[in-house]
Structures are given as C-alpha cells and as structure tokens.
C-alpha cells in the first residue's frame, strides 16, 4: 500500500473513531487500535503508540472546555495521578516484552468490559456523609455547582480508589488507551464522586497519564510519524465535531448499536490473539 492511500484510509477511520468515541463516551483509542491491526495489518505496537498520542490530544482539547466550567477537582486529580503515572510508565515499559497475541487478548477483554459499561445505567452515589481520614488529610472533599447552588460532596474509600486507579494506569500504559471505563469504576463506584466532577477530573488526569507513557513509547520508536500523524489529526477533529453535536443529540440508541460493534471487534481481537494471527 502506498503512503498516500494509507494516510487517507487512516485519516478517515480515525475521524470516525474520534466522532463515535466522543458521542458514546468510549474514547477514540479503543476503536482506532482494532482498525489499524485487524483491517490494515499494522503491528499492534505501532497502533498503541499512535493511539496514546491521540488520547493526549482529545483529553487536552476537551479539558480546555471543562476547565472553564470550574468543576474539575484538581486535588483529586493530582492525588490520583501519583498512582496513574507510576503505573502507566510500568505498563509502557512492560508492553514491549509481551507477545502481540497476549496484548490483543487483554485488549479484547478491556473492550468487552467497556462495551458493557457503556450500556449499563450509571447511578450517582455521591453524598456528603462523613468521609474517612485519608480524604480529609488530602483535602479531597469539595463542592460543585448545581441548579440549587453549590453542593458539597465527600470522597469515600480513598485507598480502594487509589488501587483501582493504579490498575487503570497499567492498562493505559500497556494498551495505549485512556481506560476511561476503569476510571469510572474507581471514581464513581468506589470513591463515590459526583458525575460532573468525576468526568472532568478523569479527563484532566488522562492527558498527564498518557504523556508519561507516551515518552516511553517515543524513546522505543513505537510512535511512528507516518501513523501517528493521520491518527492524531483524524481522532482530534472527529472528537471535536462529536462534542459539538453531542449537546443536541440523544445517544442511547447509538450506544446500544455501538456496543454490539465493539463486542464484535473485541471477539475478533481475542480470536486473532489466541490463534496467533496478530
């Protein structure tokens, strides 16, 4: 395949991945990696390197919009980044020693999990009950704006959330994705942070986490300019368009259709991994 044709195909695919990824909340990385490996036969190590760059671009791009709303809890973000940056670097160092077929199987499993998380109805468990000593010591409790004025919230089970974030960072470093689905588990379910705060704070952390592993990938030659260029430009422009139409679109049906597609991709990744085709 010529460079020109490859660039055009990847650009179009990455644009779609960014668009659908932002409409469904799944993120672009989890879609672009199967496209590159399954459809175009690119080695998974290159796909991971290109994907992590697109994660930084979309995270920083949308964080710019979120930051102005003033609901990101920078202390929670910074505190949990201790876990995610260490583990992301570990994940990025380890990934090259793993056989591509193992990476494909792990990737497929995370995809299946993300697809399930996408259709499950989320429950906001936030409250302002007395929180633990750790949350007070690290000054994690905060307030956020609602229609009835500023509302206080307390952060729960800080240690458990920290451990879950460590795991999310490992997956992010191993697979080159933002691992948003795992961060939701840590922040919404374990630490019981309100949605508005957890979504923006998780996004705030994603860029920093991805930057830590991206540097490792760059040194190793996993970020190839010929792939990273169309992937980053495509995903970012798709995600930007997505965030603009998201405000006035109902995405429930789209999410279900997309969950089916993602499940199919996941099974394909796992099958190819197990049969050693990747």
Residues 83-122, mask of contacts with other proteins (x by CB under 8 A): --xx--x--xx-----------------------------
1: contact with other proteins by CB under 8 A: yes
14: contact with other proteins by CB under 8 A: no
Place of tokens 């603009």: 244
CB atoms under 10 Å from CB of 257, counted, come to: 11
Q: What angle do CA 208, 209, 213 make, to 5 degrees?
A: 115
Smallest separation (angstroms) from other proteins to the CB of 93: 5
Smallest separation (angstroms) from other proteins to the CB of 260: 29
Give the span between the Cα atoms of 51 and 48, in whole angstroms: 5
Member of 30, 181, 210, 239 binding other proteins (CB under 8 A): 210
Give the span between the Cα atoms of 47 and 201, in whole angstroms: 26
101 within 8 A of 276, measured Cβ to Cβ: yes
Give the DSSP letter string of 64-111: HHHHHHT---HHHHHHHHHHHHHHHHHHHHHHTTS-HHHHHHHHHHHH
Instruction: Name the residue nearer to other proteins (CB basis): 86 or 163.
Output: 86
Member of 17, 118, 216, 269 binding other proteins (CB under 8 A): 216
Give the binding range for other proteins (CB under 8 A) out of 26-34, 72-80, 113-121, 127-135.
72-80
Q: For residue 251, which phi and psi values (nearest 5 degrees)?
A: -110, 5
Q: Which residues bind other proteins (CB under 8 A)?
A: 1-4, 6-7, 40-46, 53, 56-57, 59-61, 63-65, 67-68, 70, 74-75, 78-79, 81-82, 85-86, 89, 92-93, 138-139, 207-208, 210-216, 218-230, 232-233, 236
């Amino acid at each position: 395949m010529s460079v020109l044709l490859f660039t055009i195909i990847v650009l179009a695919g990455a644009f779609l991945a960014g668009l659908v990824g932002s409409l469904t909340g799944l993120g672009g990385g989890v879609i672009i990696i199967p496209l590159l490996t399954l459809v175009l036969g690119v080695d998974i190590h290159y796909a991971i390197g290109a994907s992590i760059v697109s994660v930084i671009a979309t995270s920083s791009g949308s964080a710019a919009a979120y930051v102005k709303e003033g609901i990101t809890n920078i202390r929670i973000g910074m505190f949990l980044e201790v876990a995610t940056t260490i583990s992301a670097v570990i994940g990025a160092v380890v990934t090259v020693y793993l056989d591509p077929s193992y990476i494909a199987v792990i990737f497929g499993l995370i995809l299946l999990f993300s697809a399930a998380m996408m259709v499950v109805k989320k429950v906001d468990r936030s409250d302002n009950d007395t929180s633990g000593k750790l949350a007070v010591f690290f000054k994690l409790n905060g307030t956020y704006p609602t229609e009835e004025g500023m509302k206080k919230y307390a952060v729960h089970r800080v240690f458990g959330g920290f451990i879950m974030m460590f795991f999310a960072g490992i997956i992010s470093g191993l697979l080159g994705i933002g691992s948003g689905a795992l961060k939701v588990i840590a922040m919404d379910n374990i630490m019981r942070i309100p949605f508005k705060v957890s979504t923006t704070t998780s996004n705030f952390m994603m860029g920093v986490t991805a930057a830590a592993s991206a540097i490792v990938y760059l040194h190793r030659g996993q970020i190839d300019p010929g792939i990273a260029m169309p992937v980053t430009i495509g995903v970012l422009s798709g995600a930007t368009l997505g965030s603009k139409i998201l405000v006035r679109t109902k995405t429930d049906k789209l999410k279900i259709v997309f969950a089916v597609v993602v499940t199919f991709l996941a099974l394909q990744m796992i099958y190819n991994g197990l049969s050693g085709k990747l």
